[in-house]
Amino acid sequence: MNTKVQKISYLENVNVETLDFSLHLNDITALDPTNDNILYHFCLFNKDLMFWPYMFNKLISRDEFLEFKNVEEYAYNALKEEQLSRFQIKSICDLSEILSEAKLLREIGVIKNYEFVEIFMQVRGKLFQKYSAIKKAYLKKQIKDKGITKNSAQRLRAKLACLNEN
């Protein structure tokens, strides 16, 4: 996924109906790190982050959609298994708050659709970066916890060779 923030000012001239998302982004609400149901709200929040730019507006490619979905699943697992620090959780919640405020400002007409889309895509890009870092740390911990080493790959290849001989 392209993690560079792209200027999408060309959206200013795009048909308003193309960018109207009001009916689709119901779950863009600020995440609260103290909420007992944060895992549930995390899923709902990310559903809109993943699907809206791909399904409704084709602002991202299928590959970018799948890549975001992949790193988000690891972030979800890390959150579920309580492997995220308070700082990481707060950082994600802060970004959700920015997006929630932008949605509200768009709904009351203070910012235009294209401005919201720019904010949305910037926040989505930052979350992708955070989720990618979480995925990397999560996988390192899994490797350490399961005792996987370079020799593990050789043992696996030997097991597969035995299966192929039978």
In this predicted structure, what is the pLDDT of residue 56? Answer: 62
Would you state the structure tokens that stand for residue 4, as one six-digit string? Answer: 């560079």
CB distance 100 to 30 below 8 Å = yes
Neighbouring residues of 40: CB distance < 8 A, sequence distance ≥ 6 = none
CB distance 128 to 49 below 8 Å = no
Per-residue model confidence as pLDDT tens digits over 12-50? 554 444 445 544 555 566 777 777 777 777 877 778 777
The closest alpha carbon to 118, from 5, 16, 29, 31, belongs to 5
How many CB atoms within 10 Å of residue 122? 18
How many CB atoms within 10 Å of residue 123? 21
The closest alpha carbon to 115, from 45, 16, 44, 27, belongs to 16
Least confident of 82-96, 124-138, 144-158: 144-158
Per-residue model confidence as pLDDT tens digits over 79-127? 999 999 999 999 999 998 998 899 889 889 999 888 888 888 899 999 9
Q: What is the identity of the amino acid at 102? A: A
pTM, rounded to two decimals: 0.74
Would you state the structure tokens that stand for residue 63, as one six-digit string? Answer: 């590959």
In this predicted structure, what is the pLDDT of residue 101? Answer: 92
Q: At what angle do helices 86-107 and 113-145 cross, to 10 degrees?
A: 160
